[in-house]
Amino acid sequence: MDLKKLQNGSDVRGIALEGVKGEEVNLTNEASYKIAKAFSIWLKKRLNKDSVKITLGRDSRLSGPALAENVMKGLSSEENVEVVYFNLCTTPAMFMSCVNEEVNADGAIMITASHLPFNRNGLKFFTKDGGAEKEDIIDILTIANEMELEDVEAKYETLDFLSMYAADLVKKIKQRTGEEKPFSGKKIIVDAGNGSGGFFASKVLEVLGADTSGSVYLDPDGSFPNHVPNPELKDVMDSFSEIVKKENADLGIIFDTDVDRAAAVDKSGEEISRNKLVALMASICLEEAAGSYIVTDSVTSSGLKEFIEEKGGVHHRFKRGYKNVINEGIRLNKEGKECLLAIETSGHCALKENYFLDDGAYMVVKILVKFFELSKENKTFDDLIGSLKEAKEEAELRATFLVEDFKEYGANLLEDFKVYVKEKMEGASFEEPNFEGVRVNVERDGIKGWVLLRLSLHDPVLPINIESENEGGVENIKKEILDFLKDYEVKF
């Protein structure tokens, strides 16, 4: 097969296990071998080096060990490639192995498919400059298509880098709190979703004095028997909220599979995710540098924009997709516009102080330090973000295009929607500036809200996000959007 079909934006993803009807394995052992070999060739060329050091890690997925073995065979088939295998690891830690002075890897590969179903898997690539870009993946897969499979032995060293990574997080928290055991007397629990994040309870929180009893799903299990490891999902957050309250914990931390995303739950069971998570991280950053730009994805609420501006920040709402958000933050800094934070409502959070790496564990470090500071003043997170105005109602609809050339069709649909807004939508005005799709503010007949129509990054889908500050507002706006779409070739 053409290995370019495995590209998913800035990484590689595919079906790695049988077991789901109609889903045939395409991320095969042969494919992983060829892609890994191609990465080593690409890396040598990029760095203009004859020999390179490449680290490899994986999350808890069932297909991980077999893919890792074949990745290492692919790397070993290329001359002058030193391979260091970390076994179970996190995606952010793999990048850190490139900048860690002791390891000093030239490149890194993480085997993960984030929160996708158990039969999926993928490859993420890093250099000292950060994660691979979309164009890099095209180049790597182009080389991979020319590779031949050889019968070679996987040659590698092993290293428990996750423990080294955890020790560095502990060191940072001790330095910033000024205490060896800053969480003594506090109960902080973790939901790792049976992914790679279980280490955070034993190797970070317990070392810092926290009681982590009551933590759930810490053991790696790639069948994900308890819940989808995705802190963006409402049912997942609601379930963890109940656990936090039941355990009478002071704070709850939840990670996705490969720990590049996270969210929190406070003592009362209040979920700190999506807009609230953005508000919390923005507050922390704006205390450090008033006036900073805060880059978010396109679906953040109007209340969040007001909140950031009230805190003295500049809200820069950009395109959906964590790489888009991160790269925009980097671009703003290059232009001399200070941006400390680039964050997506999904939980991807990248900080300027941490290489603009979307690292869920590092974000939690920032949250824990603020939790410590607030506790010293007998305050809670509500004292920090309680003024955030939240929508009364919200909804996301997904319309699937029924045409083959969905990108052009979708672009034309959005242009038509602009005309519809001008001519037929009462009390509607366009959000400016706007960097993705068409976002419209609606204020009429006691309703105040907004709607965003945008095109999916990769799929033939038109996501539609609606929020309202008033009861019944979502249904009112939704009815009008459905009326607009009735003449287009889409289905819900």
List per-residue pLDDT tens for the chain, 492 residues long: 899 999 999 999 999 999 899 999 999 999 999 999 999 999 999 999 999 999 999 999 999 999 999 999 999 999 999 999 999 999 999 999 999 999 999 999 999 999 999 999 999 999 999 999 999 999 999 999 999 999 999 999 999 999 999 999 999 999 999 999 999 999 999 999 999 999 999 999 999 999 999 999 999 999 999 999 999 999 999 999 999 999 999 999 999 999 999 999 999 999 999 999 999 999 999 999 999 999 999 999 999 999 999 999 999 999 999 999 999 999 999 999 999 999 999 999 999 999 999 999 999 999 999 999 999 999 999 999 999 999 999 999 999 999 999 999 999 999 999 999 999 999 999 999 999 999 999 999 899 999 999 999 778 999 999 999 999 999 999 999 999 999 999 999
User: 271 - beta bridge partners?
Assistant: 265
Three-class SS of residue 62? coil
DSSP of 214-225, one letter per residue?
A: T-B--S--TT--
In this prediction, residue 326 carries a pLDDT of 97
Which amino acid is present at 322?
A: Y
Distance CA 246, CA 255 (A): 19
Asked if residue 125 lies in contact with residue 32, where contact means CB atoms within 8 angstroms, the answer is: no
In degrees rounded to 5, what are phi and psi of residue 255?
-115, 160
Question: Phi/psi of residue 354, each to 5°?
Answer: -125, 45
Which CATH code is given to the segment(s) 3-164?
3.40.120.10
3-state secondary structure of 34: helix
**For residue 424, what pLDDT is reported?**
96
**Smallest Cα–Cα separation from 34: which of 142, 149, 134?**
149
Bond prior to 182 in cis (omega within 30° of 0): no
d(CA 384, CA 311): 10
The answer to whether 216 and 189 have CB atoms below 8 angstroms apart is yes
Report the amino acid identity of residue 401.
F
Comparing CA positions, the residue from 204, 206, 213, 309 lying closest to residue 262 is 204
Give the β-pairing of 314-317 and 293-296: parallel
The 8-class DSSP code of residue 378 comes to: T
CA-wise closest residue to 443 among 465, 463, 467: 467
CATH number for 273-390 (one of 3.10.450.40, 3.30.70.1050, 3.40.120.10, 3.40.1390.20): it is 3.40.120.10
pLDDT attached to residue 297: 97
By CB atoms closer than 10 A (0-12, 13-18, 19+), residue 268 is exposed
Angle between helices 302-310 and 274-288 (to 10 degrees): 20
pLDDT, position 228: 94
Determine the length of the chain: 492
- The pTM score is 0.95
Using an 8 Å Cβ cutoff, are 218 and 190 in contact?
yes
Q: Show the beta-strand stretches assigned E in 38-184.
A: 52-58, 81-88, 107-111, 120-127, 130-131, 157-158
Write the DSSP symbol of residue 4.
Answer: G
Which region holds residue 168: left if phi is over 0, alpha if psi is between -120 and 50, else beta?
alpha
| β-strand pairing of 251-255 with 188-191 | parallel
Sign of CA dihedral 111, 114, 119, 122: negative
Place of tokens 């998913």: 8
Query: What CATH topology corresponds to 393-491?
Result: TATA-Binding Protein (3.30.310)
The structural domains of the chain, with segments of one domain joined by +, span 3-164, 183-270, 273-390, 393-491
Q: Could you check whether 183-270 and 393-491 share the same CATH topology?
A: no
Tokens of 175: 């330095």
Report phi then psi at 46, rounded to 5: -60, -40
* Helix boundaries (H) for 377-438: 381-385, 406-424
Q: Does residue 357 sit in helix, strand or coil?
A: strand
* Residue labelled with tokens 């590698």: 156
For strands 293-296 and 339-343, give the pairing: parallel
Class in CATH terms, 183-270 = alpha beta
The tokens of 18 are what?
Answer: 């049988």
Tokens standing for residue 168: 């560095």
pLDDT for res 458:
75
